[in-house]
Amino acid sequence: MVLRPLLLFLFLLLLLPAALHLPRASADICIVGAGISGASTAFFLTNYSTSLHGAQLRVFERHHRVGGRLATVAVAGDRFEAGGSIIHPRNLHARRFADLLGLAVKAGGDDDWLGIWDGKSFVFQTLRPLPPGSSWWRRKLHGLLNSLLLLRRYGLSLFKMDKFVQVP
């Protein structure tokens, strides 16, 4: 049984040199999905790549709009930004892409209240924001409690993820 995949791999490896010599203009480039990944890939290929060589770029999306999970949704009569409403400052790729598109950075506000909605109810929420003018110790305690809520929900995976992001 193990021999069959190995033989298939060797056969495909023998075909690789022939595939590398195909004319590049004979194949189109297809991107499946127009979410943030598909849309940004199409954007960069059309604006910053010289490797298209006459090939057509085609993006296939099952919904009638671009954006994937990035959307404005209505919940209980209020409108919220879902998905990409937050770009972490240490996510350099997303920040640079947002800068390239001319998206403004919103500072301050009530964005320190986080909730995860599954379409029916909130499966996770941090504590409500403190009123303006709260004392230093109250803000620190509030931040600590929110960190503990995140730790209880997600465990140590948040700390493991920290090593994969770079500080600008």
Q: Is the pTM of this model over 0.85?
A: no
What's the confidence (pLDDT) of residue 59? 92
Q: What is the pLDDT of residues 123-145, one digit of tens each?
A: 888 898 888 888 999 989 998 99
How far is CA 73 from its chain centroid? 18
Three-class DSSP labels, 109-138:
CCCCCCEEECCCCEEEECCCCCCCCCCHHH
Q: What is the pLDDT of residues 61-110, one digit of tens each?
A: 998 888 887 777 777 787 777 766 566 666 777 778 778 878 776 665 54
User: What residues does each domain of the chain span?
Assistant: 27-68
Question: CA–CA separation, 127 vs 149, rounded Å?
Answer: 9
What's the confidence (pLDDT) of residue 6? 61
Contact by Cβ (8 Å): 60, 31: yes
Phi and psi, residue 142, nearest 5°:
-60, -45
* Helix (H) or strand (E) segment spanning residue 47: helix 36-48
Q: Which of 99, 93, 31 is nearest to 66 (CA)?
A: 31
Question: CA–CA separation, 36 vs 16, rounded Å?
Answer: 32
Q: Percentage helix, strand, coil, to 5, in the chain? A: 40, 15, 45
Q: For residue 5, what are its two tokens?
A: 């995949």
Q: Which of 85, 42, 34, 41 is nearest to 64 (CA)?
A: 34
Q: What is the pLDDT averaged over residues 112-124? A: 78
What's the confidence (pLDDT) of residue 93? 75
